[in-house]
Amino acid sequence: MKTLKTIHEYDLTLFNRLNSIRLNEDLMTLNRYISKTGDGHLYLLLLAWISLQESIQNPVLLALLIGFAVERPVYYVLKNGFKRNRPGSVLDGFQSIIKPSDQFSFPSGHTSAAFMVAVLCGYFYPEVMPFLLGWAFLIGLSRIMLGVHFPTDTLMGMCLGVSTALISLEIILP
């Protein structure tokens, strides 16, 4: 239990440090835009674009569809199983910049989906892998800066996203 307490203390310290610089309105506007890129709309556009460019047998499309079919249910079970409240619900006097879509914060669904898409697309298009991983990292960071997730929420989201991408690749690749 001492280890969990230490992790929690580091989590709160990092959260508080990151949120101490959120007074800059331009930075918060940028974080809102970055976070919105992980809302799901771009994923639907990506799936539609890939399906129009290639056949339905396209391995990228298949990997993304399998990835989301695995990642979303696992994310939902974890989020509703752990039931970790968001920072605004547990920290006295703290208010997030945006209104979260649900009550619980662990793991971060935005971060999970972003890392899954980044790893899968980066596998098939390695030249854009650094950009995609940077984008996924910024989504996780933006969720902390906007005050809707603790750092460990986004860390677990990253782990979930990468894991489901690897599972998806394992399923579709011979």
Known active-site residue 41: no
pLDDT of the residue at 115: 98
DSSP bridge pairs for 104 = 85
Which one of the listed residues 108, 110, 143, 148 is annotated catalytic?
Answer: 110
pLDDT at residue 23 is higher than 70: no
Domain ranges, residue 11? 2-172
The answer to whether 116 and 67 are in contact (CB under 8 A) is yes
- Report CA torsion sign: 128, 133, 139, 142: negative
Q: What is the pLDDT of residues 132-149, one digit of tens each?
A: 999 999 999 999 989 899
Percent of the chain with pLDDT over 90: 45
pLDDT of the residue at 167: 96
Mean pLDDT of the chain: 87
pLDDT of the residue at 1: 63
Which one of the listed residues 15, 35, 149, 168 is annotated catalytic?
Answer: 149
- What is d(CA 12, CA 150) in angstroms, rounded to the nearest whole number? 7
Q: What is the pLDDT of residues 55-93, one digit of tens each?
A: 656 888 889 999 999 999 999 999 999 998 888 888 787
State which H helix or E strand residue 66 sits in. helix 59-82
pLDDT of the residue at 137: 97
Query: Which residue has better confidence, 130 or 92?
Result: 130
Known active-site residue 110: yes
**CATH number of residue 116's parent domain:** 1.20.144.10
Q: Based on the structure, what is the number of domains in the chain?
A: 1
Query: Which residue has better confidence, 75 or 28?
Result: 75
